[in-house]
Amino acid sequence: MSKPKIGWVGLGNMGTPMVNNLLKAGFEVNVFNRTKSKEQALVEAGASAAESPPQLVQHCDIIITMLSDDAAVKEIFEGTNGLLSKPQPGKLFIDMSTVAPETSCYLAGICARLGLGFIEAPVSGSVKPAQDGTLIILVGGSAENYEKAKPVFDVLGKLSLLLGESGKGSTAKLAINYLLALNLQGLAETVLFAEKNGISKQDMLTIINEGACANGITKLKSTSILNDDYPAAFALKHLVKDLRLAKEAGLDAPLITPLYDAFNKAQQAGFGNEDVMAIKKYLESNQ
């Protein structure tokens, strides 16, 4: 059975390695990015570049978007010369961006009225899992469309889960990113408290990572803390957006407001383009 032709919109830190994995797996991929220079490396790796979103739709069976926020996703779908400006019934659209559940439901409704398939599929994982093809893919939509997309998901991730109708995948993504933020701030506060009281961060991180409190995030972020260097695997500004979306979606747990406020203030203080673990730098600067 021949592989579907894939169209891909959005070649940021996540999109580029994900497309590379599809190319390595033998998929024909047509890419579109507003900053055209970001297409070049993928074209050299075997992708083709579309001149416009409608051209991408015309030549592909499955069209995937991986963009920064709700506004960017709605613009690429509905804007002048957007993906839906020349709809072709039967195509399947997959939005892998992290957006509000209501945005996923809204796009699903539009696509249904146009005779198009749509599923949401945000991912849990940052740049390294994207490079390794070990993302966890959180899917909302119909079982039929999930089955069509599964060969693609099997390349991009180690696990994909169909969680229910549109909106469920986005809800799960906001939930896991709330837990991520709790882990990050808890790790930062723990190390800062230890340092303030004469315990080195090296020793404190060893205590954490060799004990029951260790997890993937504490181990992954230890190198950044030790080097006090925070290149963005997942930019802090994006986590601020996700926490805001979680609040707007109804998350009213006791810790959400102080957690959101801390990350939002870190962004306002100039740490937005650094990695999420740069919350430690912000908290340290305000001790």
Phi, psi at residue 57, to the nearest 5°? -60, -40
Q: For the chain, list the domains and their CATH numbers.
A: 6-165 (3.40.50.720), 171-285 (1.10.1040.10)
pTM, to two decimals: 0.95
**What CA–CA distances, in Å, run from 15 to 96, 111, 201, 274?**
9, 23, 34, 18
Closest alpha carbon to 277 in 209, 243, 242, 227? 227
From 91, 148, 173, 281, active-site residue:
173
What pLDDT, on the 0 to 100 scale, is given for residue 87? 86
- Low-confidence stretches of the chain (pLDDT < 50) are none
* Sign of the dihedral defined by the CA atoms of residues 205, 211, 214, 220, in that order: positive
Those residues whose C-beta lies under 8 Å from the C-beta of residue 236, and which sit 6 or more positions away, are 263, 266, 267, 271, 272, 273, 274, 275, 276, 278, 279
Amino acid of residue 263: F
pLDDT of residue 1: 61
To the query of whether residue 173 is one of the catalytic residues in this protein, the response is yes
Question: Given this model, what pLDDT does residue 287 score?
Answer: 85
Strand 62-65 and strand 117-120: the pairing is unpaired
